[in-house]
Structure 1
Amino acid sequence: MTSSPLYRVGKACVVFALLFSYSVCLAQHLSHTEFNFRNDNDLYLFNKQDQYYTNGVFFSIRKTVDSTSLSTNEANRIWGVTIGQKMYNAYTANIRYIEEVDRPITAYLFLAANLDRYFERERLFSVTAEIGTIGQRALGKQFQESIHKAFRLYDIAGWQYQLKNAFGIDATTRYGGLLYRNPTQWFDISGQVAATLGLNHTGFAIAPSFRFGRINPLHQSVYTSSRLQVRGNTVAKELFLYYSPRLHFVGYDATLQGGMFLRDKGPVTHTPARWVWYNQVGMMYAKNALSLHFQYIFYTKEVPGMFFRHRYGSVGMGYRF
C-alpha cells in the first residue's frame, strides 16, 4: 500500500527533527566557539568616582583550530578576535581647569587578533596583533556622556583637554606555565611573562598566579581562556579564587604620552612611571557552556605626579556553543 504524501512529509519532518536535536546536543557537547564580554569600572567598588582608568568594555569571539594542525606535544590551540574600548580620566571626570589634569584624558579604541597555543606539560604561548587609536576618534567623550545620562549621573567636563588623535599597531607575545600543583590538586602556582612592542604600548611584565579551589589543568581552564577543546575533550567544572601580582615595565604608553610621532600630542601629556605594580584578586566559575569572572585590581601610580593610586572592579562572562 502506497503511503500518502502527507504521511511522507510528516515522516521526513520527524527524521529531520531527530537529526536536528542530535546535532544540537552534539554541538553543545563539542563546543568550538566562545563569546566573551568583560567590563572594567571603578563604580563596581561603590565609591562613586570616575577616576583614571574608569571604564573598559570588551567583546571577543574565540574558536578552536582544526585538530590536524596541532603539533605532537600540543594539547589545544585557539584563535580569537577582540574589539574594545578603554577610557581614561584625570582624578575626576569633572575637570574645570587644565591644572587639574594629573593624568592625561583619552579613550583607547582597538581591534586585536590572537593565537593561543597550549602544550601537554601545561605550558602556553600566545601572540597578539593589535591596532588602536587614542584621541577623539576613540569616542571616549560620547560614550561617557551617554553612560552618565542613562544613569542620571553628574555632568562630565574636561574632554577639551584630551590627547590628539593617533593610530598605532602593537604586537605582544606571552609565555607561561605551571610551576607547582599540590597532590590533591586544589592549589597551584603558575607564572607568565609578556612583552609588547609597538606605537601605542611598549613594555614587558612578569606575573605569578596563585589559584585556590576546584581547578583544571592550564590547557582546560577558564583562567587561561582554554575551556574550548580542539579534540572535544570533556572539561570539568571549575570554581576557584586567585591572586596574581604583576610587575610591569612601561617603555611607552600612548594614553599617557600621546601619539609617538606627533609634534602636538595634546594639551597635557605625562612621562609614565617606569615600574608599575599591580595586584589582582578574583573568583572564577565555569560549568558546561557558561563562565563567570569577578575581579578586583589595585595598582601603584602610573604617573609619579598623580594625586592618588587607583583601583577598580571587573566582571566578565563567557558562553560556549
Structure 2
Amino acid sequence: MIHNLYNVGRAVTSTLLLFSFSYFLGFAQPLPRAELNFRSDNDLYLFNKQDQYYTNGIFLNIRKVADSTRLSPKEVNRLWGLTVGQKMYNAYTAQIRYIEEVDRPITAYLFVAADLDRYFANESVLSFTIELGTIGQRALGRQFQEGIHKVLNLYDIAGWEYQLKNAAGVDASVRYGGLLYRNPARWLDLSAHAEAILGLNHTGLSVAPTLRLGRVNPLYQSVYTSSRLQVHGTTANRELFFYYTPQLRFVGYDATLQGGMFLHDKGPVTHSPSRWVLYNQFGFAYANRAITLRMQYIFYSKEVPGMFFRHRYGSIGMGYRF
C-alpha cells in the first residue's frame, strides 16, 4: 500500500515538474513579435582592396507585426518596418587628386524610411514605402569614411571636396510581386516583383524575377520577403536556400548622380545617368526561429555611361526576432 502510494506520488510529482518546466519554457520563449536587422554593404568584402562607386552601405531596421484584426479576408500577414541607413558613393577610387577623375559623383545618402508590407494567401506581396533622405555634407559621408580609414589604419582618402551640394527630398514607392511556380517537392520556386518609385531623390521603375533553390518557405513566411514574423503568432519553418535575382531598372532621376533636383548649383561634378541599369544578385539565406543570416554578391552595369568600370560589391546581413 505504502509502495503504491509512493509510486503514485512520484508520478504526480514528475507530471507537475514536467508541466512546470514546459510552462516556464513557453513563458521564457514567447513567439517573436518584433525583429531587429542589420546589413552592411561593402566592396571590400570581395577582397579587391578598393573603395569604388557604391563603396559602403550600413542599415539598421526594426520590424513589428501589425494588428491582426486589421487584415483583409485574403491577407495572412502584415508587418511594419522602420529603417535608418547611409549609402556612400565614391568615384572609381577614393584617392581623387583632380576633378577630371570624378567619373561618378561623390556623395553619401543618409535616410530614414517607413514601410508597410502586406502578404496574401496566394503568395502575392504588396509593399508601400516612404523615405526621407539627404545628399551632400549633411549625409556625413566624408566623416564616416575618414573615421573608418583611421580606425583600420588604411590609406588617406582624397576627393570629398568635389562632393555634391546638400539637398533633401522625399520619395514614395510601391512594390508588388508574387509566386510564379514552385515544384511539388518544394525545393525550387520562381517569383517576380515590380517596383515604382517617385520622388525628389529617386524616380524610376524596376522589375526582377527571383529563383530560389533549397529549403524554402511560402513568400508570406520567408526570410527572402522579410516575412518570418507572423501576425497570428505562428512560427515559420527553418530555411536554407540559394537565390539568384536579375533586375532591370529604369532610372528617371537619381540625386546621387544628378544632384538636388531644384538646386541651381548642384555641385562641382554631376552626371546624367544611364537610363537602363542591369543588376545581378546571388545570395544565400539561413533562418531559424530567432536568427537570420544572409550573404549576397551584387554586380551591375554602369550607372553613368562614362564611368571607367562596372561595379560589384558584397553584402552581409543579420537579424534577430524577439
Using structure 2 for the length normalisation, give the TM-score.
0.92
Measured against aligned partners, the alpha-carbon deviations of 1:223-243 in whole angstroms (never above 9, x if no partner) come to: 000000000112110000000
Over 3 Å counting, the alpha-carbon distance change for 1:255 and 1:24 in structure 2 is farther
| d(CA) in 2 for partners of 1:127, 1:287 | 27
Q: Aligned residue for 1:44?
A: 45
Measured against aligned partners, the alpha-carbon deviations of 1:246-270 in whole angstroms (never above 9, x if no partner) come to: 0000000000000000000000000
What letter is aligned with 1:174?
Answer: R
Q: Aligned residue for 1:283?
A: 284
| d(CA) in 1 for partners of 2:210, 2:23 | 40
Measured against aligned partners, the alpha-carbon deviations of 1:204-237 in whole angstroms (never above 9, x if no partner) come to: 1000000000000000000000000000112110
Are the equivalent residues in 2 in contact too, given 1:112–1:128 (CA < 8 A)? yes
| d(CA) in 2 for partners of 1:223, 1:108 | 25
Shift of 1:26: 4.2
Q: Aligned residue for 2:114?
A: 113
Q: Aligned residue for 2:302?
A: 301
**Aligned-residue CA RMSD (Å):** 1.5
What letter is aligned with 1:225?
Answer: S
Q: Aligned residue for 2:8?
A: none
Over 3 Å counting, the alpha-carbon distance change for 1:26 and 1:75 in structure 2 is farther
Q: Aligned residue for 1:84?
A: 85
Q: Aligned residue for 2:205?
A: 204
Give secondary structure in 2 for the equivalent of 1:137. helix
Runs of 4+ in 1 over 4 A off after TM superposition: 21-24
What letter is aligned with 1:160?
Answer: E
Shift of 1:23: 7.4
Q: Aligned residue for 2:172?
A: 171
Over 3 Å counting, the alpha-carbon distance change for 1:26 and 1:221 in structure 2 is farther
What letter is aligned with 2:153?
Answer: R
Over 3 Å counting, the alpha-carbon distance change for 1:223 and 1:312 in structure 2 is same
Over 3 Å counting, the alpha-carbon distance change for 1:106 and 1:27 in structure 2 is farther
Q: Aligned residue for 1:214?
A: 215
Over 3 Å counting, the alpha-carbon distance change for 1:57 and 1:179 in structure 2 is same
Are the equivalent residues in 2 in contact too, given 1:78–1:115 (CA < 8 A)? yes
| d(CA) in 1 for partners of 2:87, 2:257 | 13
Give secondary structure in 1 for the equivalent of 2:29. helix
Q: Which runs of 5+ in 2 are unaligned?
A: 1-18
Q: Percent identity?
A: 72
Give secondary structure in 2 for the equivalent of 1:245. strand
Q: Aligned residue for 1:142?
A: 143
Are the equivalent residues in 2 in contact too, given 1:28–1:289 (CA < 8 A)? no
Are the equivalent residues in 2 in contact too, given 1:55–1:86 (CA < 8 A)? yes
What letter is aligned with 1:158?
Answer: G
Give secondary structure in 2 for the equivalent of 1:223. coil
Measured against aligned partners, the alpha-carbon deviations of 1:126-170 in whole angstroms (never above 9, x if no partner) come to: 000000000000000000001101111100000000000000000
Q: Aligned residue for 1:260?
A: 261
| d(CA) in 1 for partners of 2:116, 2:109 | 22
Q: Aligned residue for 1:6?
A: none
> Which stretch shifts more, 254-263 or 227-236?
227-236
Measured against aligned partners, the alpha-carbon deviations of 1:106-137 in whole angstroms (never above 9, x if no partner) come to: 00000000000000000000000000000000
1:67 aligns with 2:68: yes
| d(CA) in 2 for partners of 1:293, 1:247 | 22
Q: Aligned residue for 1:31?
A: 32
Q: How many residues align?
A: 304
| d(CA) in 2 for partners of 1:27, 1:56 | 35
Q: Aligned residue for 2:7?
A: none
1:185 aligns with 2:186: yes
1:235 aligns with 2:236: yes
Give secondary structure in 2 for the equivalent of 1:130. strand
